[in-house]
Amino acid sequence: MQTINRLDPLRHATAALRRDGPLALVPTMGALHEGHLALVRAARARAAHVVVSIFVNPMQFGAGEDLAAYPRQLAADSAMLESEGVGVLWAPAVETMYPEGFASHVAVSGVSEGLCGAARPGHFDGVATVVLKLFNQVEPDLAVFGEKDWQQLAVIRRMARDLDLTRPHAGAIIGIATEREADGLARSSRNRYLDADERRIAARLPRALATAAARLRAGDAAAPVLAALREELRAAGFSAVDYAEFRTAGTLVPLARLGAEPARLLVAARIGATRLIDNLAVG
């Protein structure tokens, strides 16, 4: 595996790999866990070579969020990727990604509004901008993202369609099912912020989500199901529920109850300073 942190050598390396067959990109912020590795394995299954990027993107963190505290462990991450057969680790410095004078950004309206976009203003502009830059830097044939960040996946697919991206095109943006701990908690780099008590509370989130999803699948109206879900999370020990919403899966339009279209139940809740998100398919 080559570890690269400058753009010229990256372009050189990816051009050589691409001659060999399709190239896949897996964008990450590092602090890798089994969820990230599931994306890498899915990428390897679909492409000849895999590029993984590790970049903690300041543009997608708001004031008062955990940018400085976000876990950074490049050596451990690199060892994991090496043993997964990754061809290139792309790990640019902030000054390489955003050189002096950088002044552009991508804004995707609609799908980026509400849900995580409400609590984190500017977050999805930061995500869309860095992902478009990564796409232009690596020029992958396909890119792999986790369904755990469902709204992020919807924003990136919208951007790819709206801006007629070709590397990758919208249809080559692959979503991979959420990887979970044995008790159902979605794996996340932020789970390490939880102490033992908080970790026990966190495990109630996927269970409460599954109960609510079952009621929605049975045809119950969304409003009482979502109210009960919020109440259950507060009673379980979550300090706040940022949102609990039922929306169409692709366009993220709020739903009063399950209809013919695929739908998604999405939640963000806090335990102290730690914010957890999760979502489930409904229908």
Of the pair 133, 215, the CB lying nearest ligand AMP is at 133
Q: Which is nearer to ligand AMP, 148 or 204 (CB)?
A: 148
Q: How far is the CB of 181 from ligand AMP (least distance, A)?
A: 9
The Cα 104–Cα 279 span in angstroms is 31
Q: Which is nearer to ligand AMP, 27 or 258 (CB)?
A: 27
Q: How far is CA 182 from CA 179, 185, 187, 203, 220, in A?
A: 10, 7, 10, 10, 29
- Say whether residue 140 binds ligand AMP (CB under 6 A): no
Q: How far is the CB of 113 from ligand AMP (least distance, A)?
A: 19
Residue 53 found at the interface with ligand AMP (CB under 6 A): no
Beta bridge partners of 27: 53
Strand segments, DSSP code E, in 93-165 are 142-146
Q: Produce one character per residue of 134-146: b if its CB has 16 or more CB atoms within 10 Å, e if not.
A: bbebbbbbbbbbb
The two three-digit tokens of residue 260, written as one number: 């013919």
Kindly write out the interface string for residues 182-201 of this chain, putting x where it contacts ligand AMP by CB under 6 A and - elsewhere. ----xxxx------------
Is 87 near ligand AMP (CB under 6 A)? no
Tokens linked to 214: 């079952």
* Residue 148 binds ligand AMP (CB under 6 A): yes
Rounded (5°) CA angle 223-124-237:
45
Asked whether position 39 contacts ligand AMP by CB under 6 A, the answer is yes
Q: How far is the CB of 132 from ligand AMP (least distance, A)?
A: 15
Question: Would you call 101 exposed, middle or buried from its count of C-beta atoms within 10 A (0-12, 13-18, 19+)?
Answer: exposed
Contact status: 46 vs ligand AMP (CB under 6 A): no
- Shortest Cβ contact with ligand AMP: which residue? 146
Residues involved in catalysis: 36
If binding is defined by CB under 6 A, does position 178 make contact with ligand AMP?
Answer: yes
**List of residues contacting ligand AMP (CB under 6 A):** 28-29, 35-36, 38-39, 145-146, 148-149, 176, 178-179, 186-189
